[in-house]
């Protein structure tokens, strides 16, 4: 796995192969809230893409991985932050 700095100063992308030929990107953000916001935006776009053309098996796997990460992040957030982020989404 190798780190690639992104254009944003508050993130770093780690790229590594997975066993299912899907490239997994994990972001190191300044806060879990930043990562949660990014993941939710990606999920919205993926659901829109699914409606218009369906998802490939690799895209479906990436969607499920992101969904699991969203749940992990939500469990670790204080209730007040969780509610604020849910309203923003």
Number of independent structural domains in the chain: 1
Say what the pTM is.
0.60
**Residue 8 lies in domain:** 2-88
Buried b (16+ CB within 10 A) or exposed e, 46-85: beeeeeeeeeeeeeebbbebbeeebeebeeebeeeebeeb
Q: Which pLDDT tens digit goes with each residue over 49-85? A: 899 888 999 999 999 999 999 999 988 887 777 677 6
| Residue 3 or 79, more confident | 79
Give the pLDDT confidence of 14-46 residue by residue, as tens digits. Answer: 445 555 555 555 556 678 888 888 999 999 999
């Amino acid at each position: 796995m190798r780190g690639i700095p992104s254009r944003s100063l508050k993130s770093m992308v780690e790229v590594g192969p997975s066993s299912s030929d899907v490239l997994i990107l994990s972001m190191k953000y300044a806060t879990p809230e930043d990562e949660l916001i990014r993941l939710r935006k990606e999920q919205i776009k993926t659901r829109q893409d699914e409606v218009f053309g369906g998802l490939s098996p690799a895209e479906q796997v990436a969607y499920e991985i992101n969904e699991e990460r969203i749940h992990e992040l939500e469990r670790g957030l204080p209730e007040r932050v969780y509610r604020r982020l849910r309203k923003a989404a």
